[in-house]
Amino acid sequence: MIQQTDFMFEGGRDGVLLIHGLTGTPMEMRLLGKGLNNAGYTVHGMQLAGHCGDAEDLLATGWHDWYASVEKAADAMLEKVDRLFVGGLSMGALLSLKLAADRPQQIAGVGVYGATFRYDGWSIPRLARLSFMLPLLKKVGIGRNRSFMEQPPYGIRDERLRAQISSAMLGGDSAAAGLPGNPWYSLAEMYGLAATVRRQLPQVVAPCLIAHASEDDVASLSNAELVRDNVSGPTELLLLHDSYHMITVDKERRTLIERSAAFFGRVAGAPQRAAA
């Protein structure tokens, strides 16, 4: 059964919509959201359709459903704020970029955190690196009940935090830590989204803060470079050298909070309180 885990932090008239990753949960965006709220922003950490339940809940949805839930959350935020920024982690970064491409008049800036067009990081097993072929397998009906299980270090360099999150994830607490595996068909949907967003990157005119771990274990730096080299708006690249894929919770999360708050503040052209 799906549990509702999204969060809303009330702040000023500049807002940030935060989007978690595939099989993830809003909890992975909560520390970033709290930091941005401390800097004066109204923040909504949304929950993607089909997430925070079991694998069957996720498989009942596809990327069009996930994106529809993003659009619904953006519409709700636009009723509360004068200026809207969007930020996402991993697949959430792709959904953020798509929203910016589709709504250039409504999205003021984008936080592109650990963008994942392909799972090609150093910890991804050789077989899993062939997951870009999954749309074909899904089309012919092969592998609906198969998953790629998460592998250590689970995107987290901080060993203490890694132990906490992996324990919750492997213990079945999907609302707190997400699912322990990526269903093949959901990955196929993600690759469909990635292909769409890749084509739309030139339509992104909003400024983008592109933050990526230099040693990302899930998605190599080429994913960030793809965004930097193809969007039409100005970009700022932030490389994090003491984190893995989950940069919103890992060792340099405070740096990410501070740089995000400052970036959105510069775009807004208004002074913001220092991010706590």
Q: Where are the domains of the chain?
A: 7-268
pLDDT score recorded for residue 169: 79
Closest CA to 54 of 133, 169, 156: 169
pLDDT score recorded for residue 255: 98
How far is residue 276's CA from residue 265's CA, in Å, rounded to a whole number? 15
Contact assessment for residue 209 and residue 261, using Cβ atoms and an 8 Å cutoff: no
pLDDT digits (tens, 9 = 90+) for 59-112: 999 999 999 999 999 999 999 999 999 999 999 999 999 999 999 999 999 999
Q: What is the three-class DSSP state of 14?
A: strand
pLDDT score recorded for residue 228: 98
pLDDT score recorded for residue 150: 77
How far is residue 237's CA from residue 115's CA, in Å, rounded to a whole number? 12
C-beta atoms surrounding 136 within 10 Å: 11
Extract the residue ranges of the chain whose pLDDT is less than 50: 276
Peptide bond into 26 cis (omega under 30): no
Tokens 């790629």 sit on residue: 148
β pairing state of 235-240 and 208-213? parallel
For 158-185, letters b (16+ CB in 10 Å) and e give beebbeebbebbeeebbbbbbbbbbbbb
Q: Per the structure block, which two tokens stand in for 130? A: 């062939």
CATH placement of domain 7-268: 3.40.50.1820
Residue-wise DSSP of 49-108: TT-SS-HHHHHT--HHHHHHHHHHHHHHHHTT-SEEEEEEETHHHHHHHHHHHH-TTTEE
Tokens 């769409």 sit on residue: 196
The burial of 137, by beta-carbon neighbours within 10 Å (0-12 exposed, 13-18 middle, 19 or more buried), is given as middle
Total-model pTM: 0.93
How far is residue 209's CA from residue 60's CA, in Å, rounded to a whole number? 33
Contact assessment for residue 219 and residue 115, using Cβ atoms and an 8 Å cutoff: yes
Contact assessment for residue 63 and residue 193, using Cβ atoms and an 8 Å cutoff: yes
How far is residue 137's CA from residue 117's CA, in Å, rounded to a whole number? 18
pLDDT score recorded for residue 180: 81
